């Protein structure tokens, strides 16, 4: 068997090829100014990753376990280890548990959550862990706005400050992500009672909703026909696990969406659900 000889010229050529390939990759990536929205497949929980105009990383909830890391690993550029904004819709385990694992691999700059009477020891440990990692903690309420730039922002419609309830899901953040005229409505685990209240708000219903994150994994208590007919979303996204013990998504909700000609996308069927805004 003959020995394979590698010349200096071949080594230099290979090195230059790798350098040029990386340069072209970075150049193409930097020229891309699209916004990517990924409803991550985190099982029975919520976790949405956004890369706004290919430069600002945002996370809305983090699912019940480390499965969120798989989603982030696929969609965050490998050199980027910083998440500029993380929202926690409300302190339920299936929404916050994944932040433990994220905090070990990524630097979260700003963490935005809400006040709730329903917090446990594990959630308090998470907040302390984030503080130790020098993450800034904020609690936002109705009518507060997070500006990304002139045409891009998050606007919170719920919860109200000093709001109290005996239902932990009532504290869920309801907010709209708006990029020019494209709007996504995020709802956490909010219920019909809260949404019925919000659709009476003219400022809330004036927004044309392109994508609606269906509340509470498609629970029958999350939404009804009146709300859907008022909001009129083009696409409904349901974050849910296969064969979950709760029976989510509820058949009545699915039938309602179909009857209103709202396109349904489900993480239990499609895995990660990806949208791009040009």
pTM, whole model, 2 decimals?
Answer: 0.89
Looking up tokens 């949404």, which residue turns up?
195
- Total residues found in the chain within this entry: 278
Contact, 265 vs 236, CB < 8 A? yes
Provide the 10 A C-beta neighbour count for residue 118: 15
* 84: Cα within 13 Å, side-chain hemisphere: 12
Q: How far is CA 37 from the centre of its chain?
A: 8
| Residue 109 CA: distances (Å) to CA of 65, 103, 106, 177 | 21, 10, 9, 19
CATH 3.50.50.60 fits 33-277, yes or no: no
Q: Residue 100 has what DSSP assignment?
A: H
pLDDT recorded at residue 7? 74
- 31-56 residues labelled b (16+ CB within 10 A) or e (exposed): eeeebbbbbbbbbbbbbbbbbbbeeb
> Sheet holding 136-139: strands in order across?
136-139, 107-113, 82-87, 56-60, 48-52, 35-39, 273-277
- Return per-residue pLDDT of the chain as tens, 278 residues: 556 666 766 666 666 666 565 555 555 555 678 999 999 999 999 999 999 999 999 999 999 999 999 999 999 999 999 999 999 999 999 999 999 999 999 999 999 999 999 999 999 999 999 999 999 999 999 999 999 998 999 999 999 999 999 999 999 999 999 999 999 999 999 999 999 999 999 999 999 999 999 999 999 999 999 999 999 999 999 999 999 999 999 999 999 999 999 999 999 999 999 999 98
The domain limits of the chain are 33-277
Report H helices in 92-249. Answer: 93-96, 98-105, 121-132, 192-198, 202-205, 225-231
Q: Where are the alpha helices (DSSP H) in 189-249?
A: 192-198, 202-205, 225-231
| Strand order from edge to edge, sheet including 182-186 | 145-149, 152-158, 174-179, 182-186, 211-213, 235-238, 263-266
Would you state the pLDDT for residue 266?
A: 98
Which residue, among 129, 63, 66, 125, has the nearest Cα to 95 in the 3D structure? Answer: 63
Q: Kindly compute the dihedral angle of the four CA atoms of residues 157, 262, 35, 90, in this order, to the nearest 10 degrees.
A: 40
Q: Largest Cα–Cα distance in the chain?
A: 81
Question: Can you give the pLDDT at residue 249?
Answer: 98
Closest CA to 190 of 171, 210, 162, 163: 171
pLDDT at 32: 76
Confidence at residue 55, expressed as pLDDT on a 0 to 100 scale: 93
């Amino acid at each position: 068997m003959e020995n394979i000889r590698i010349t200096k010229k071949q080594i230099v050529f290979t090195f230059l090829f790798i350098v040029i390939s990386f340069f072209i990759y970075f150049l193409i990536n930097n020229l891309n100014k699209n916004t990517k929205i990924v409803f991550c497949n985190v099982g029975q929980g919520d976790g949405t990753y956004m890369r706004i105009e290919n430069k600002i990383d945002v996370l809305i909830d983090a699912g019940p376990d480390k499965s969120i890391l798989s989603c982030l690993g696929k969609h965050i550029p490998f050199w980027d280890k910083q998440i500029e904004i993380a929202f926690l819709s409300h302190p339920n385990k299936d929404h916050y548990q994944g932040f433990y694992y994220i905090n070990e691999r990524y630097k979260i700059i700003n963490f935005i959550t809400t006040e709730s009477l329903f917090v446990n020891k594990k959630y308090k440990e998470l907040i302390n862990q984030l503080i130790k990692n020098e993450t800034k903690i904020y609690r936002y309420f109705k009518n507060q706005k997070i500006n990304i730039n002139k045409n891009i922002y998050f606007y919170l419609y719920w919860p109200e400050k000093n709001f109290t309830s005996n239902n932990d899901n009532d504290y869920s953040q309801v907010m709209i992500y708006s990029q020019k005229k494209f709007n996504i409505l995020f709802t956490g685990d909010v219920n019909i009672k809260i949404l019925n209240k919000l659709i009476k708000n003219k400022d809330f219903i004036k927004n044309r909703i392109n994508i609606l994150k269906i509340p509470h994994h498609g629970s029958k208590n999350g939404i009804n026909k009146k709300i859907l007919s008022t909001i009129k979303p083009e696409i409904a996204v349901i974050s849910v696990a296969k064969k979950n013990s709760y029976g989510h998504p509820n058949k009545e909700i699915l039938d309602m969406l179909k009857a209103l000609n709202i396109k349904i996308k489900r993480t239990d069927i499609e895995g990660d659900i990806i949208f791009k805004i040009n």
